[in-house]
């Protein structure tokens, strides 16, 4: 069974602070996706990382895929209250053309003004 461990589980910070969320597994994934979910809504994709060592930037968000494709991190610079939400990483491993997304338990981020 492929498992994704996310840490921390909860994070409460002040506006303007930086933070890093981690997603780790003992399994190798073909790709990793990061989603953000607001209460009562479905997860929305932020980014997909595919290549080991890959770094992607999305405004104040920086995503990194580990060299061995077993872990990933999300770094947010100068967090804002609008960043508040549940951040989920999801790994995919496919034998055929498409696999299933396995989700981590999420990191609940609260950014206080």
Contact pick of 27, 100, 110, 112 for another protein (by CB under 8 A): 100
Choice between 42 and 113, CB closer to another protein: 42
Residue 101 near another protein by CB under 8 A: yes
Q: For the window 18-57, what string marks contact with another protein as x by the rule CB under 8 A?
A: ------------xx-x------xxxxxx--x-x-------
Q: What is 39-106 written as a DSSP string? A: TTS--EEEEEE-STT-EEEETTEEEEE-TTSSEEEEEESS--GGG-EEEEEEEEE-SSS--EEEE---
């Amino acid at each position: 069974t492929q498992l994704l461990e996310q840490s921390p589980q909860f994070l409460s910070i002040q506006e303007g602070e930086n933070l890093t969320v981690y997603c780790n597994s003992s399994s190798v994934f073909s790709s990793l996706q990061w989603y953000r979910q607001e209460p009562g809504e479905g997860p929305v994709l932020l980014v997909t990382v595919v290549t080991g060592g890959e770094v992607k930037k999305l405004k104040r968000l920086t995503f990194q895929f580990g060299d061995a494709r077993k872990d990933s991190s999300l770094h947010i610079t100068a967090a804002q209250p609008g960043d508040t939400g549940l951040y989920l990483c999801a790994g995919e491993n496919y034998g055929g053309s498409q696999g299933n997304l396995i989700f981590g338990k999420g990191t609940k981020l609260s950014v206080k003004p």
